[in-house]
Structure 1
Amino acid sequence: MGGHHGEPYKVPHPSIYKVANVPQLVEVKEALGRQGLSDPWLRNEAWRYEKKAFGTHRSRLNAFLFRGLGVGFCAFLATIAVEYGLGIGKGQGGHGHGHDDKGHH
């Protein structure tokens, strides 16, 4: 049971990510250099800026916020259609409790 079907995920070699290819990280490196500091692990953040593989920050945010919106809206419409078709929810406005509008208990 289970198992992988198809190619397993291939982890890219770390040498493909370079600080020099990411303007934001170059700025960080230069700012640290002005203070006499360096970050040997800065290259580890370069993957986050790879637009081909991971998209832009905006595209990732849109995917996070709106993923499943279409399916959810269709399910909402189906629920409303079923309730309307079966008569569920009709006449439940007002107070409920089985009383008429004349106030008799």
Structure 2
Amino acid sequence: MGGHDHHGPPFVVPKDPSIYKLENAPQLVLLQKKLAEHGLKDPWIRNEIWRYDVTKWGTQAGRVRQFFLMGARVGIPLFLITIAAEKALGIDYSHHHGHGENHHGSHSKEH
């Protein structure tokens, strides 16, 4: 009562943080190299590896591509089916409003 019907936890907390390796996060490896060029080191970088781990999330370009194409597998065929159905049924959405008439009627002012 009072709660939502969930089937298990929404996430799983890893038992061992060593599953996240810096080598799996190229962006953080690059950051670490750039910091080292200036004699700096980020002692907390290990806490961010899970966000950039390409083995878990893929590359940034892959995520962007997936975002823009996620509905394409279903959307493009449905779009083509819709066009084919409209052509087969003779559906035409082009409406012609008169023969060169002013579309604004008496609302337009001429000087």
How far the C-alpha of 1:25 sits from its partner, in A, is: 3.0
Q: CA RMSD in A?
A: 3.3
1:53 is displaced (CA, Å) by 1.6
Q: For 1:31-46, list aligned pairs within 5 A.
A: 31-46=34-49
Deviation at 1:98, TM superposition (A): 5.6
Among 51, 56, 62, the residue aligned to 1:53: 56
Distance (Å, rounded) in 2 between the aligned partners of 1:85 and 1:59: 38
* DSSP 3-state at the match of 2:40: coil
Q: Which has the bigger relative contact order, CA under 8 A and spacing at least 6? A: 2
Q: Which residue of 1 aligns with 2:97?
A: 97
Residues 88/43 of structure 1: CA separation in 2 closer, same or farther (3 Å cut): same
Aligned residue in 2 for 1:64 = 67
- Give the 3 Å change call, closer, same or farther, for CA 11–27 of structure 1 in structure 2: same
TM-score (norm 1): 0.60
Q: Residue 15 of structure 1 corresponds to which residue in structure 2?
A: 17
Q: Which amino acid aligns with 1:25?
A: L
Q: Percent identity?
A: 46
CA distance in 2, matches of 1:20, 1:79: 47
Distance in 2 (CA, whole Å) between partners of 1:41 and 1:11 is: 19
- State the one-letter code of the partner of 2:67: F
Structure 2 Cα separation of the partners of residues 65 and 76 of structure 1:
16
> Which sections of structure 1, spanning at least 5 residues, go unmatched?
100-105
